[in-house]
Amino acid sequence: MLPIIIAVLSGAIRSGTAVLFACLGEIIAERAGVVNLGTEGCMLIGALGAFAATAMTGNPFLGAFVGGLCGASLAAVHAYVAVIRRGNQLASGLAITILGLGVTSFFGRSFVATQINGMNSISIAGLSDLPILGPILFQHDALTYLAAFLAPGIWFVLYRTRWGLMLRATGERQDVVYSVGLSPTLIRCLAVICGGFLAGLGGAQLSVAYTLNWVENMTQGRGYVAVALVIFSSWSPLTAVAGSYLFGGALSLQLALQARGVGASPFLMSAIPYLVTLAVLVLVGRRRRQAMPDELRAVFERGG
Amino acid sequence: MRINSRLVVMAVMLIGSLMLAACGSPAAAPAGSKDAAAPASAVTTVGFLFVGPKDDFGYNQAAYLGSTGMEKELGSKVKVIRAENVPETEEAERVMESMIQQGAKVIFPTSYGHLDPALNVAKRHPEVTFIHQGGLKTSSNLGTYFGNIFEEVYLGGVTAGKMTKTNKLGFIASFPIPQVLENINAFELGAKSVNPNATTSVVFTANWCDPGKQAEAANNLIAQGVDVLTQHQDCTKTIVEAAERKGIMSVGYHADASSLAPKGWLTGSVWNWSPLYTQEVQAVLDGKWKEGPLAGKYRVGMKEGAVKLAPFGSSVPADVQALVKQKEQDIMSGKLAPFAGPIKDQSGAVKIAAGVNPTVDQLETTDYLVEGVVGSIPR
């Protein structure tokens, strides 16, 4: 019983990390009042950018950084359309995802057969050898550790710094931000671009740390899962960790059970994260809705 | 301002869809300008549609190699045009129409989902011959073909059964459809024929190509002590590489991926479409295609050379290679049939009675896993 629990939990963290990055990025953007449905596209372009840069330079860390930059660049297009031009956020986001899919399919073709040396798992002296906890928590790649540290880091910035206060104020009541002489437009743009960078890192984790491969449309909807998890986690970076690992857990649980000859439907299990999200929306709908940044409400309730 | 922003959104969406279209139908460019001296009427243009990229170590690479083999074989008699990444939508119809405008007289839509678009275009162009890969529907100018790859998967199982130290084999499957179940069963039957203790643990990913799930499935199977991994997925690179990194063996599928796993590669089942493609196009050139079996649902196997065993890896000893080659001969001569009864399912119930060799229809409706497979069919 113990080995399977270890396999599921370590698998949950490995498979949940890409989603966690993207989810944290989306939280930053939505906290500033902008929904980015282009997260899926940003992840894809990040995955390809990271893979291509790793293939060319041989350095997966540089690759991951390039992946982040690619995600940020695509998100910048969304920032221009949705924030500066005040275009419909939902339409722009979807267009960004389609654009990302198209661009990466086109430029990714020459990398389909490429082999790379990706990130290895990093052992932490004294911790990785611990029974049970070692294999679950401390035998992962650098990006997986980074995601886990980023979550409390982002929480700290959002709730304990002036920067975070201004970002949240932009999402709640932009007049307040005006009144202290800052530009909500600028803050929103930066938040969206920053979110795109994180989504790009999520894609990079998939391509250069986890699978060491580039395949067309390899994110397979993980970007949309991330957007759903933002609501599930009621815009909190800390709850996002739980949500993302829950998604990863549902994915790894069914594979782990099947590998051990236990019948588990991959169809049903793949639906679990979405079912949980729906259940959360229904059960605590009212309270969660109050967690939604006020300016975001404009997107959903008064039309973008 | 309002109008402006909408315009921008529309422009972005337009660019996005153009990008998609650009990838979906990379302007079916003529592949190599065949000798311009030959009289134009003697050259027949043949079009190929692939659903994915030509170098995916998988299904599309195999079909692409078939098209280049046919081109080499028929030389100046044909001009080949190709389109990769053609989605299984009306987009495929558009690509086929554009090929016909470029003079294509024979079209190979090579993906299962290209069938319905092809049937539509075939109706509009009775003068063009359509040859579809894997379909179950035909029309007066559209025939289909496919290969019995389970024969090679059986031999892959024989190799794995001989090479395994732990007697645990792993199979990463996609969807529980008859073709896939057939391959899982063939693999286990092959392994058990030489190693009664060999079991095959199967994991379904419910996806044709999700590298993230493939990696996780591989991790889990390896953690269970599996020392040979095989698969039925569209893209195969992630799994072969993962096995190599973990120091275990792999049996490939669709295409030769031995270059990805110099240490652990055993062998694999690969498509060898070029003899069949050549036969099909030659029949059209001779004006004999419509009379023959090619115009119907044509199925070929190892004997016809449509499926082959990939080269053995360096770790496979000579006696194992000889044994597999012997079994290959036996299948070709008809002495050995992978699914000859008695075949029992996991519960022990007899599915194919002793002495019976199942028909194609029986095989193509497989809905059970054989004894020795660990795991269950997700419902």
Within 8 A of B3 by CB-CB distance, chain A residues are none
* Average pLDDT rounded to a whole number, residues B279-290: 94
Domain boundaries, chain A: 2-301
pLDDT at B60 over 80: yes
Cα A296–chain centre separation? 19
The pLDDT assigned to B39 comes to: 43
Q: What would the mean pLDDT of A124-138 be, rounded to a whole number? A: 86
Chosen from B8, B14, B172, B254 to mutate, greatest number of chain A CBs within 10 A: B8
CB contact under 8 A, A112 and B20: no
ipTM of the complex: 0.88
Whether the CB-CB separation of B164 and B195 falls below 8 Å is answered with: yes
Q: Taking a C-beta distance cutoff of 8 angstroms, is the pair B185, B173 a contact? A: no
Closest to A82 in 3D by CA, of A220, A192, A174 = A192
Q: CA neighbours within 13 Å on the CB side: how many for A151?
A: 25
The stretch B104-119 carries a mean pLDDT of: 94
B310 vs B177, higher pLDDT: B310
Q: What is the mean pLDDT of residues B62-73?
A: 94
Per-residue pLDDT at B16:
52
Q: Give the confidence band of A51 by pLDDT, cuts at 50, 70, 90.
A: very high
Q: Could you give the domains of chain B? A: 42-147+273-300 (3.40.50.2300), 150-270+307-374 (3.40.50.2300)
Residue B14 confidence (pLDDT) above 70:
no
Name which of A99, A222, A261 is nearest B16 (Cβ-Cβ).
Answer: A99
Say what the pLDDT of residue B21 is: 46
Comparing A157 with A3, the larger pLDDT belongs to A157
Mean confidence (pLDDT) of chain A: 90
Instruction: Output B302 or B2, whichever has higher pLDDT.
Output: B302
Residues 58-87 of A with CB under 8 A from B: 77, 80-81, 85-87
- Beta-bridged to residue B203, according to DSSP, are B172
Does the domain at residues A2-301 carry the CATH identifier 1.10.3470?
A: yes
Q: Nearest chain B Cα to A115, which residue?
A: B260
- To the nearest 10 degrees (0 to 180), the angle between helices A237-259 and A222-232 is 130
Q: What is the pLDDT of residues B142-174, one digit of tens each?
A: 999 988 899 999 999 999 999 999 999 999 999
Q: What is the 3-state secondary structure (H, E, C) of B273-329?
A: CHHHHHHHHHHHHCCCCCCCHHHCEEEECCCCCCEEECCCCCCCCHHHHHHHHHHHH
Is the Cβ of B207 closer than 8 Å to some Cβ of chain A? yes
User: In this predicted model, what pLDDT tens digit does every residue of A222-256 receive, in sequence order?
Assistant: 999 999 899 888 899 999 999 999 889 888 888 88
Residue B141 clears pLDDT 70, i.e. is over it: yes
Dihedral of CA B14/B15/B17/B18: which sign?
A: positive
Q: What band does A273 get if pLDDT is binned at 50, 70 and 90?
A: low
B363: confidence class by pLDDT, cuts 50, 70, 90: confident
3-state SS, residue A123: strand
Residues B83, B93: Cα–Cα separation, whole Å: 12
Q: What is the pLDDT of residue B22?
A: 44
Chain B contact set for A260 (CB, 8 A)? 201, 220, 224
pLDDT at B2 over 50: no
Q: Of B296, B320, B371, which is closest to residue B341 (Cα–Cα)?
A: B371
Residue A147: pLDDT band with limits 50, 70, 90? very high
d(CA A114, CA A117): 10
Q: Is B348 helix (H, G, I), strand (E, B) or coil?
A: coil
pLDDT band, very low/low/confident/very high, at B208 (cuts 50, 70, 90): confident
- Residue type, position B325, single letter: K
Pairs across A and B, CB distance < 8 A? 158
Measured between beta carbons, the chain B residues lying within 8 angstroms of A112 are: 53, 55-56
Look at A44-48, A220-224, B322-326, B364-368 and tell me which has the smallest mean pLDDT: B364-368
Q: Which of A26-30, A282-286, B44-48, B323-327 has the lowest mean pLDDT?
A: A282-286
Q: What is the pLDDT of residue B15?
A: 56
Angle at A165 between CA A198 and CA A155, to 5 degrees: 45
Whether B6 sits inside 8 A of A3 (CB atoms) is no
pLDDT digits (tens, 9 = 90+) for B214-247: 999 999 999 989 999 999 998 889 999 999 999 9
List C-alpha distances in Å: B206 to A4, A175, A268, A269, B172.
Answer: 21, 49, 10, 10, 10
Q: B285 to each of A14, B129, B258, how far by Cα in Å? A: 55, 11, 36
Q: What is the pLDDT of residue A64?
A: 97
Q: Please, which residues 116-155 of chain B have a Cβ atom closer than 8 Å to chain A?
A: none
CA distance B244 to B265: 8
CA–CA gap between residue B218 and residue A11 (Å, rounded): 11
The rounded distance, in Å, linking the Cα atoms of B124 and B99 is: 14
Task: Using the structure block, give the residue that is written with the tokens 């994260």.
Answer: A273
Is pLDDT at B1 greater than 80 in this prediction? no
Please tell me the predicted confidence (pLDDT) of residue A254: 86
